[in-house]
């Protein structure tokens, strides 16, 4: 397991993405899975940066673990911000045009569709959003 704690700010996204990509490079991860994971990391961390904390800001921890059989990567995003379950919101209606849909929710929808598992819990004063993706 590897983890990093960093300021929950938009400017931190490239550092978080590089950290996760570094872990994926050590594994036999398909390019398709790498791209899907990168999009998910960007979406989830940007939501934490934008919405978890007020103007005072805060930190977030990104934890990367691997599973062997089947080969998978599990990434947890942990923050001490306001409790918020992004999975509780209904999926956007993709049959509606962009001008007819409510704003928001498309990014987490893409995460849910491209990851093998997405789980949220609020525990010990922390939001914990975990994604899992098979990598081979």
What's the CATH number where 56 sits? 3.30.565.10
* Digitized pLDDT (tens) for each residue of the chain, 136 residues in all: 999 999 999 999 999 999 999 999 888 888 999 999 999 999 999 999 999 998 889 999 999 999 988 899 999 999 999 999 999 887 656 556 666 656 555 679 899 999 999 999 999 999 999 999 998 7
Q: What is the domain extent for residue 53?
A: 2-134
As to burial, measured by CB atoms within 10 angstroms (0-12 exposed, 13-18 middle, 19+ buried), residue 7 is middle
Q: d(Cα 125, Cα 15) in Å, to the nearest integer?
A: 25
Q: What is the pTM of this model?
A: 0.90
Question: What is the number of structural domains in the chain?
Answer: 1
């Amino acid at each position: 397991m590897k983890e990093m704690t960093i300021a929950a700010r938009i400017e931190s996204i490239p550092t978080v993405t590089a950290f996760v990509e570094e872990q994926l490079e050590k594994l036999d991860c398909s390019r398709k899975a790498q791209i899907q994971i990168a999009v998910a990391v960007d979406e989830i961390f940007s939501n934490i940066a934008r919405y978890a904390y007020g103007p005072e800001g805060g930190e977030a921890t990104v934890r990367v673990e691997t599973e062997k059989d089947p080969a998978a990567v599990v990434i947890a995003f942990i923050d001490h911000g306001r409790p918020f379950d992004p999975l509780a919101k209904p999926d956007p209606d993709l049959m509606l045009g962009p001008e007819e849909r409510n704003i928001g929710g498309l990014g987490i929808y893409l995460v849910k569709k491209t990851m093998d598992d997405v789980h949220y819990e609020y525990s010990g004063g922390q939001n914990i959003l975990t994604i899992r993706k098979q990598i081979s």
